Amino acid sequence: MSFGQRKNFTVPVDAESPEARDDAKLLPLGPFDKIPPIIIDGQDPPKTPITPTTPIIYCPQSPSATSKRSRALRPGTTRKYRRRAILKNGDCNIVLSKVSRQRLRFLQDIFTTLVDAQWRWTLLVFAFSFIGSWLFFGAIWWLIAFTHGDLEEMHLPKNQEESGWKPCVFNIESYTSAFLFSIETQTTIGYGYRTTTEECPEAIFIMCFQSIYGVMMQAFMVGFVFAKMTRPKHRTQTLLFSKHAVVCQRDGELSLMFRVGDMRKSHIIGANIRAQLIRTKLSREGEVMAQYQHELEVGADHCGSDLFFIWPQIVTHRINTESPFYNMSASDLLQDRFEIVVILEGTVESTGQSTQARSSYVNTEILWGHRFEPIVFYNKENQVYEINYSKFNETHSVDTPLCSARELAEFYKYQDDYRNQAEDHHHLQTPA
């Protein structure tokens, strides 16, 4: 049935009820019946009939009002939130299980393992690596002194001048003194109280080996601690994504939009934005692909996916014939299950390292009929552009049809055809 034949339609009172969610009952007459309850500033749905040309405002309940019960839900019901692959802070909600030789594989790449480990484990490994090496080489120095006879009563430091004994290392009389000499050798402290003599070649070899080992281990430990402290992941803490995405009309098309921002003065060079839709897909052969990924075409203004990221940008995905949301209306958006993963990549200007910031939006985090508040203003007093980040997540409601982009395009096409027919008829009736 065309839009011209459909004069009016009614809006379901409760979109969360089983009757309203039944697809067979949602689409009995035409595409405009797939519409959830309309809430305008907390008022009940209008009682007058609504036509496709009637401007409609869809205002979901503010997420901040958690204490108030949503009027769109039946008493005793709760909205179910979809499981996420990417959390709002950008972490991947993934846990590995049943990986063969997992520990061995991680130990083969010990540097990356230590960098990815939590700080408490990193500092624990850092401390015990030094203490363990000091204890180990201290035992070797004690064995050298023991086998050479330096620990006998007459060969102890207090009796060496009387007996004329020349030890491998001066002033070694127990394991404690051997441990202290190990620390002095590896850290090159050089107190001058304990020194190696020419009496034992093995002592000279161990001293050289421990010095080389100490330099290598210190370089390795300092390297992974520095790499952990300067990870590009920390730069993503100042890259912001809006809490919600919005759907509204822009240039006659429905568009899905979200906002990204950077809080630092050091910019992201070569910033690029991507978005992927994760949802379940059924192939022609009947295969169920639960985590099917679909690349969404996104861009800011008319610059494509490459951003000149000097101030917050509103990233737009036009819901056209190539979009997976082309046949999705406002009610479909509430009922469907999907996740939109957004990825911002670029190079950190101050360090030259590549970074990647991530976030995601599920269907309950998309506000239909909303638009972002402007936050970039020109300050005439200081002659600079001022960014008000307090309004970064704020939106306001706008007139937006609740039908799908396909239905809206058909409606506009019907209007154009009707207008052209009226003009042709007017020209035929007008005498020459």
For the stretch 72-102, pLDDT in tens is 333 443 444 467 888 888 888 888 788 777 7
- Which residues share a beta bridge with 314? 259
CATH number assigned to the domain with residue range 117-228, chosen from the 4 options 1.20.1250.20, 3.20.20.10, 1.10.287.70, 3.40.630.30: 1.10.287.70
Percent of the chain topping pLDDT 70: 79
Digit-coded pLDDT (tens) for 216-231: 999 988 888 888 887 7
The residue among 179 and 40 whose pLDDT is bigger is 179
C-alpha pair distances (Å), 71 with each of 38, 59, 186:
10, 12, 71
pLDDT score at 82: 60
pLDDT value for 58? 38
Residue 6's pLDDT is 41
| SS3 per-residue string spanning the chain | CCCCCCCCECCCCCCCCHHHHCHHHHCCCCHHHCCCCCCECCECCCCCCECCCCCCECCCCCCCCCCCCCCCCCCCCCCCCCCCCECCCCCECCCCCCCCCHHHHHHHCHHHHHHHCCHHHHHHHHHHHHHHHHHHHHHHHHHHHHHHCCCCHHHCHHHHHHHCCCCCECCCCCHHHHHHHHHHHHHCCCCCCCCECCCCHHHHHHHHHHHHHHHHHHHHHHHHHHHHHCCHHHHHHHEEECCCEEEEEECCEEEEEEEEEECCCCCEEEEEEEEEEEEEEECCCCCEEEEEEEEECCEECCCCCEECCCCCEEEEEECCCCCCCCCCCHHHHHHCCCEEEEEEEEEECCCCCEEEEEEEEEHHHEEECEEECCCEEEECCCCEEEECHHHCCCEEECECCCCCHHHHHHHHHHHHHHHHHHHHHHHHHCCC
Please say whether the beta carbons of 319 and 214 come within 8 A.
no
Q: What is the pLDDT of residue 188?
A: 85
Query: What is the model's pLDDT at position 202?
Result: 92
* Rounded Cα–Cα distance for residues 372 and 397 (Å): 9
At 107 the pLDDT is 77
Predicted local distance difference test score (pLDDT) of residue 29: 40
- CB 143 within 8 Å of CB 150: no
Residue 62 and residue 69: Cα distance in Å, rounded?
Answer: 11
Q: What is the mean pLDDT of residues 103-117?
A: 80
The whole-number pLDDT of residue 70 equals 38
- Any idea of the CA torsion for 9, 14, 15, 18, to the nearest 10 degrees? -110
- Check pLDDT > 60 for residue 35: no
Return the number of other C-beta atoms located less than 10 Å from residue 213's C-beta.
Answer: 14
Q: Over 60: is that where the pLDDT of 264 sits? A: yes
Chain-wide mean pLDDT for the chain?
79
In a 10 Å sphere around its CB, with 0-12 CB exposed, 13-18 middle and 19+ buried, how is residue 102 labelled? exposed
Look at residue 284 and tell me whether its pLDDT is greater than 80.
yes
CB atoms within 10 A of CB 117: 16
| In the predicted structure, residue 52 carries a pLDDT above the cut 80 | no
> Considering the chain, what percentage of its residues have pLDDT values greater than 90?
30
- The answer to whether 310 and 263 have CB atoms below 8 angstroms apart is no
- Of the pLDDT bands very low, low, confident and very high (cuts 50, 70, 90), residue 274 is very high
d(CA 141, CA 207): 9
Q: Mind listing the pLDDT tens digit for each residue in 364-387?
A: 899 999 999 999 999 898 899 999
Give how far Cα 109 sits from Cα of 105, 112, 114, 227, 320, Å.
7, 6, 9, 15, 46
Model confidence at 336: pLDDT above 60: yes
Q: Say yes or no to pLDDT of 144 above 80.
A: yes
Measured between alpha carbons, how far is residue 28 from residues 22, 24, 46 in Å? 10, 7, 21
pLDDT attached to residue 273: 92
Check residue 154 and give its pLDDT: 85
Crossing angle of helices 201-229/175-187, nearest 10°? 60
Decide which of 234 and 408 is more confident.
Answer: 408
Judged against a pLDDT cut of 70, whether residue 14 lies above it is answered with no
pLDDT tens-digit map of 411-427: 888 887 777 777 766 66
What is the reported pLDDT for 377? 92
Q: What is the 3-state secondary structure (H, E, C) of 138-157?
A: HHHHHHHHHHHCCCCHHHCH
Q: Where are the domains of the chain?
A: 117-228, 233-411
Q: Check if the beta carbon of residue 315 is closer than 8 Å to that of residue 273.
A: yes
| Per-residue pLDDT, 291 | 87
The predicted model gives 395-405 an average pLDDT of: 91
| Candidate CATH numbers 2.60.40.1400, 3.20.20.70, 3.30.70.890, 1.20.140.10; the one for domain 233-411 | 2.60.40.1400
Point out the least confidently predicted range of 3-7, 329-333, 393-397. Answer: 3-7
Determine phi and psi for 318, rounding to 5 degrees.
Answer: -75, 125
